[in-house]
Amino acid sequence: MRVSFTLSGGLALLCLACTLALAFNFPALTGRVVDQAEVISQESRADITAKSQALEQKSGIQLVVATVKSLEGGDIETYANELFRTWKLGQEQKNNGVLLLVAPNEHKVRIEVGYGLEGTLTDALSSVIISTAIIPQFKSGDFSGGIDRGVDGIISVLNGDSADWQPQPQSLLRTDEPGALNTLLPILGFFAVGLILRLIIAGIARLVSGPPGHYVTRNGKQVFVPDRGSSWSSSSSWSSSDSDSSSSSSSDSDFSGGGGSSGGGGASGSW
């Protein structure tokens, strides 16, 4: 009886979750830019579409920008994840889709990342792009500029150039404070001199003592036998792997998702 009750409860929760997911009135995927809120200029729309198409042709990654009039009472994380899954962004086998979702009326923005790109477009990098490239423009009312800069940031990270979007930890040493550099230099100099002297002494000692070894008696004579040792050696190898990326191209008129999915990776922000 208890097992039956538990099973019934689980099915009820599953049905409720499915009902909530279907409750959203999602816009149709009409292209790489879906501007339901009508906040993106025609020039930016064309520019973003061209960048997204070039990215997909190069790597197979599908990048879609969407603005919505309302989140319909839901949080942006749930809405973005369900919209991503409904549109099936990215290739089915690679799950390499990205969704930049903006809800101007709720002052919310999110970068939703497919399973296959979570290791590249990480939550931390997505958060930095939102906070430094997108939100400052949104605060000034420039939605086109913020979205365009956000797209540029996403594409640069996906292309392997994430240096500009790394979180910047506060420096433990502030050299702009008076006297900080003057205090540091003598300490570094002291350690450098000590290291040099140590190397010189070790070298002289080795020259004086000769190679390590011991004497043995052979046929009545003392013979010096060097000890077996290992010499310093260094080796390095570089390996590179060429990843085959399938490229796909489509005009904006017949654009559609490729069957990909997302597990909730990405980041959100508000202004």
What are 205's two structure tokens?
């000692």
Judge whether 154 and 100 are in contact, CB under 8 Å: yes
Query: For domain 20-161+266-270, which CATH number applies: 3.10.20.310, 3.10.310.50, 3.40.50.150, 3.30.70.260?
Result: 3.10.310.50
The pLDDT score that the predictor gives to residue 208 is 59
Please give the full DSSP string across 82-101, using - where no structure is assigned.
HHHHHHT-SBTTT--EEEEE
H-helix or E-strand containing 1?
none
Judge whether 144 and 138 are in contact, CB under 8 Å: no
The pLDDT score that the predictor gives to residue 165 is 73
Which regions of the chain does DSSP assign to beta strands (E)?
Answer: 33-35, 62-67, 97-103, 108-113, 213-218, 221-226, 265-270
Q: 3-state DSSP call for residue 258?
A: strand
Q: Report the 10 Å Cβ neighbour count for 269.
A: 18
Judge whether 162 and 153 are in contact, CB under 8 Å: no
The pLDDT score that the predictor gives to residue 246 is 38
- Parts of the chain with a pLDDT under 70: 1-22, 168-185, 188, 190-191, 202-253
Judge whether 121 and 111 are in contact, CB under 8 Å: yes
The pLDDT score that the predictor gives to residue 167 is 72
Q: Report the 10 Å Cβ neighbour count for 85.
A: 17
The pLDDT score that the predictor gives to residue 227 is 52
H-helix or E-strand containing 104?
none
The pLDDT score that the predictor gives to residue 206 is 61
Give the pLDDT confidence of 63-85 residue by residue, as tens digits.
Answer: 999 999 999 999 999 999 999 99
- Scanning 65-176, the segments in alpha helix (DSSP H) are 76-87, 123-129, 135-139, 143-158
The pLDDT score that the predictor gives to residue 196 is 80
Find tokens 């009312």 and name the residue.
141
Q: Give the start-to-end residue ranges of the domains of the chain.
A: 20-161+266-270
What span, in angstroms and rounded, lies between the C-alpha atoms of 193 and 150? 49
What span, in angstroms and rounded, lies between the C-alpha atoms of 271 and 265? 21
